[in-house]
Amino acid sequence: MQTIRLKREKLPYEINEELKVLRTNLLFCGAEKRVFLMTSAFSGEGKSTIAYDLCLSLAELGKNVILIDGDMRKSTLKHKINGTVPENGLSHYLSSQCERDDVICQTDIDQFYMVLAGATPPNPTELLASDNMRRLINYCREYFDYVVVDCPPVGLVVDAAVLAPNCDGSMMLIESNQVKYRLAQECVAKMKATGCPILGVVLNKVSEKKYGRYYTKYYGKKYYKAYYAHADK
């Protein structure tokens, strides 16, 4: 198992507070909910960043956590690496080009591990539906407190819906004032059809105008808000 160094940014106060809200709500989902899938409607909504920051927050709480980059089409998590990106990633393991231990990386942050996406394959959906993917998730479920899987946008491709049955719950990330209500409902319907419970929604890039001048003055222009009500409500 190799060790990778991560880029660290000091987050504004209000983002840290909302991360704690999201983290707390996940912890209260129950002990049986430990493998979480995160998806969104479109690309560029901030899904991968939130998944990454959530895992950091869980690790800071003392939880043993692993982040799996399941977005083999357009990975952005590789940009979180400070230094050389590992040669092997998820696509290499799923296509049986390497062993599981070759792709699980220990980070320089205590109790935080990552599996990077690897090279872009011609058949990402089929790889996510493979027995190797199920074996990887089952292994991580056994050895880690929490597993977070970052998936491509369900509004664009079917990958998240294919992987969802292997997870205990899913989270939808929605960018404020960018995603139409009908599209959001269609995305929720796709995830519901998998049988994987939708635990809630993270509303991202909320404008400071909605929360007044206090946040603008002290904390910057935009942040995300964790709305974690059950999707049926």
7: which residues sit within 8 A by CB, 6+ positions away? 79, 80, 81, 82
Provide the pLDDT for residue 172.
Answer: 87
Residue 100: how many other CB atoms lie within 10 Å = 14
Q: Domain 3-227's class?
A: alpha beta
Residue 58: how many other CB atoms lie within 10 Å = 24
202: which residues sit within 8 A by CB, 6+ positions away? 22, 50, 171, 172, 173, 174, 224, 225, 226, 227, 228
Q: What are phi and psi of 141, to 5 degrees?
A: -60, -35
Q: Using CA atoms, how far apart are residues 59 and 52, in angstroms rounded to an integer?
A: 11
Provide the pLDDT for residue 12.
Answer: 81
Question: E strands along the chain, which residues?
Answer: 3-4, 35-40, 65-69, 104-107, 112-115, 146-150, 169-175, 198-207, 222-227
What are the extents of the domains in the chain? Answer: 3-227
Residue 5: how many other CB atoms lie within 10 Å = 13
Pairing of strands 198-207, 222-227: antiparallel
145: which residues sit within 8 A by CB, 6+ positions away? 34, 58, 63, 64, 65
pTM here? Answer: 0.86
* Per-position pLDDT tens, the chain of length 233: 788 999 878 888 888 888 888 889 888 888 889 999 999 888 777 889 899 999 999 999 999 999 999 999 988 898 999 888 898 999 999 999 999 999 999 999 999 999 999 999 999 999 999 999 999 999 999 999 999 999 999 888 999 999 999 999 999 888 777 778 888 888 888 899 999 998 888 877 776 655 544 443 433 444 555 544 443 43
Provide the pLDDT for residue 119.
Answer: 93
